[in-house]
């Protein structure tokens, strides 16, 4: 990551670019919104628990969207819930990230044909940064997704436009 490469021999000085510093800070403290939807949420809880210990990546569950950086859509998004998810996402402060966890959230999963009440992919209402496949994904897979998101954040830039990993505009949805 190179942040400490240019440390001076003596003194408490580190030089780096703003991009590097902010990206490093953001990816190292991804506060997650405490929010679960279905069986994927159980795996997400397992990822948070001691065996997998998501907190070692700086992921702390926050019980409010105002203090969260990332929302993990962990489960089936019903039409009823979609409205709430959109609302919660809009309440999060930027920069905000979305991990879509599991088949349901990625594409509707097993409900894609007959699930009249299920939204066919959460990316229809909010922009998704990382898709984690699985039904449900194991905690390892979620951690992999989280690390992918961290790598994505590392490449962000506040100066350069259109670099890989920049947040895309939200898809247009009327009156949710």
Partner 1 sequence: MNANEIHDRIKDRFPDGIVEFKIDATVDPFIVVRPELIRDIAVFLSSDPELKFDYLMSISGMDYNDGNLGVVYHISSMEKRHRITLKVKLPKTDAQVPSVESIWKTANWHERESFDLFGIVFQGHPDMRRILLPDDWEGNPLRKDYKAQEYYHGMKVPY
> Given the rule CB under 8 A, which residues bind partner 1?
79-80, 82-83, 108, 112-113, 116-117, 119-120, 124-125, 173-176
Closer residue to partner 1 (CB): 95 or 127: 127
Q: How far is the CB of 107 from partner 1 (least distance, A)?
A: 9
Closer residue to partner 1 (CB): 128 or 143: 128
The packing angle between helices 139-154 and 39-48, to 10°, is 70
Question: What are the strands, taking DSSP E only, across the chain?
Answer: 32-33, 61-62, 70-74, 97-101, 130-132
* Angle ∠(23,24,28) on CA atoms, nearest 5: 115
Instruction: Return the residue matching tokens 């690390």.
Output: 147
Using an 8 Å Cβ cutoff, are 65 and 92 in contact? yes
Closer residue to partner 1 (CB): 66 or 113: 113
Closer residue to partner 1 (CB): 63 or 175: 175
Closer residue to partner 1 (CB): 6 or 87: 87
Count CA atoms closer than 13 A to 84's CA, side-chain side.
9
Q: How far is the CB of 106 from partner 1 (least distance, A)?
A: 13
Q: How far is the CB of 174 from partner 1 (least distance, A)?
A: 4
* Angle ∠(151,153,156) on CA atoms, nearest 5: 115
Bridge partners, residue 118, by sequence: 78
Q: How far is the CB of 86 from partner 1 (least distance, A)?
A: 9
Alpha helix positions (H), 9-78: 18-28, 39-48
Q: How far is the CB of 121 from partner 1 (least distance, A)?
A: 9
């Amino acid at each position: 990551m190179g942040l400490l490469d240019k440390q001076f021999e003596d003194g408490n000085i580190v030089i780096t670019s703003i991009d590097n510093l902010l990206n490093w800070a953001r990816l190292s403290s991804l506060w997650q919104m405490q929010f679960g939807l279905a069986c994927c949420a159980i795996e997400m809880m397992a990822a948070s628990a001691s065996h997998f210990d998501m907190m070692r990546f700086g992921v702390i569950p926050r019980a409010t969207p105002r203090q969260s950086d990332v929302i993990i859509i962990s489960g089936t998004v019903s039409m009823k819930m979609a409205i709430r998810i959109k609302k919660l996402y809009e309440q999060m402060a930027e920069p905000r990230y979305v991990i879509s966890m599991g088949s349901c959230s990625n594409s509707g999963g097993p409900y894609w044909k007959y699930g009249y009440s299920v939204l066919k992919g959460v990316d229809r209402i909010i922009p998704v940064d990382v898709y984690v496949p699985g039904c449900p994904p194991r905690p390892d897979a979620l951690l992999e997704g989280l690390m992918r998101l961290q790598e994505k954040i590392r490449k962000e830039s506040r100066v350069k436009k259109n670099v890989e990993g920049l947040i895309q505009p939200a898809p247009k949805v009327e009156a949710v």
